[in-house]
Structure 1
Amino acid sequence: MEKRHEVLFRQLEDYRRELLRVVDGLTEEEADIVPKGFNNNIRWNLGHVYLDQYLWIQHVTKEPIPIPEGFRDWFGFGTSPAAWHTKPPSLFVLKELLAEQPTKIREWYGERLEEEFAPTESGMHTIAQVLVRTIFHEGLHLATIQRIRKFL
């Protein structure tokens, strides 16, 4: 992996550590509260961050990624806890998946960051470009989780 790409992985790891720090000590019940003015709860935001990271990589590479069963229904774009018909993963499971995800992405794609794929509708055509987008996206959801925590 090129040295210039190391910053992407450090940022992914740093944001992920911060995300997990913010939800440290959160109960299962607190993770399910949707405060007035919000569309989703903390559990949804955590699952969405995890899913989004892999979906964008898959969108660019067109390669299968092992996404846990049910995650698209629970945490995909446009979903909401109000429409859940099955029990989502526990907070413990979500935190474990989130904690290991940056390492998996580094292992699977660390040597392929500049590999060229067909451009997406937004013009992304490398995994490095996807990581820039998903790190930004994670920051948005981290801010949302921090705002929800203030209501708890």
Structure 2
Amino acid sequence: MKKRHEVLFTQLESYRNYILGVVEQVTAEEADLIPQGFNNNIRWNLGHIYLDQYLWIQAVTKEKAPVTEQFNKWFGYGSSPANFTSQTPSVVELRILLKDQPSKIKEEYRNRLEEEFPPTEMGMHTIEQVLTRTIFHEGMHLQTILDIKKLL
């Protein structure tokens, strides 16, 4: 594996662990609060981070993402906690999924990072480019989570 790929996976895991540390003590009740001025809650942001990474890999590779369609209804772009059901993963379940995701992505895609695919609407055409984008996206949602936590 190329050195820059090792760095990419280290960053993916490191940033993810940071987010998990931020939400480690968040209770189920706190994770479901939507402060005034916000559209979503901490649980939604965590599920969205998890889903987004797989959806962008799917957008590039055209291979089925390992998430259910229901996950998209709960956490996809334009969704909200109003779409949650009794089947929606809890904050505890989401923390487990998020913790395992970087190693699963590394295992599945480490030898395919530079494989060329037709470009997405954002011009990305490799899994490496997707992971770089999703790390940035994750940081945006980290800030939202931090902002919500200040108001709890």
Interval of TM-score (by shorter of Structure 1 and Structure 2): over 0.9
1:39 aligns with 2:39: yes
Aligned equivalents of 2:22, 2:131: Cα separation in 1:
21
- SS of the aligned residue for 2:30 comes to helix
Q: CA deviation at 1:65?
A: 2.0
The letter for the 2-side match of 1:75 is F
Aligned equivalents of 1:109, 1:69: Cα separation in 2:
22
The CA deviation string for residues 92-135 of structure 1, in whole angstroms up to 9 with x for no partner, is: 11000000000000000001000000011111000000011000
After alignment, is 10-19 or 44-53 more displaced? 10-19
Off by >4 Å, runs of 4+ in structure 1 = none
The CA deviation string for residues 10-61 of structure 1, in whole angstroms up to 9 with x for no partner, is: 1111110010000011110000000000000000000000000000000000
- The question of whether the paired residues in 1 share the 8 Å contact of 2:31 and 2:41 is answered with yes
After alignment, is 43-52 or 58-67 more displaced? 58-67
1:27 aligns with 2:27: yes
What is the match of residue 94 of structure 2? 94
The letter for the 2-side match of 1:80 is S
Mapping 1:70-81, distance limit 5 Å: 70-81=70-81
Mapping 1:38-77, distance limit 5 Å: 38-68=38-68, 70-77=70-77
What is the match of residue 141 of structure 1? 141
Aligned equivalents of 2:100, 2:85: Cα separation in 1:
27
Equivalent residues, number: 152
What is the match of residue 107 of structure 2? 107
- The question of whether the paired residues in 1 share the 8 Å contact of 2:73 and 2:83 is answered with no
Aligned equivalents of 2:97, 2:2: Cα separation in 1:
26
Q: CA RMSD in A?
A: 1.1
The letter for the 2-side match of 1:29 is E
Q: Which runs of 5+ in 2 are unaligned?
A: none
TM-score, length of structure 2 as denominator length: 0.96
TM-score, length of structure 1 as denominator length: 0.96
Q: CA deviation at 1:68?
A: 3.8
Q: CA deviation at 1:82?
A: 2.3
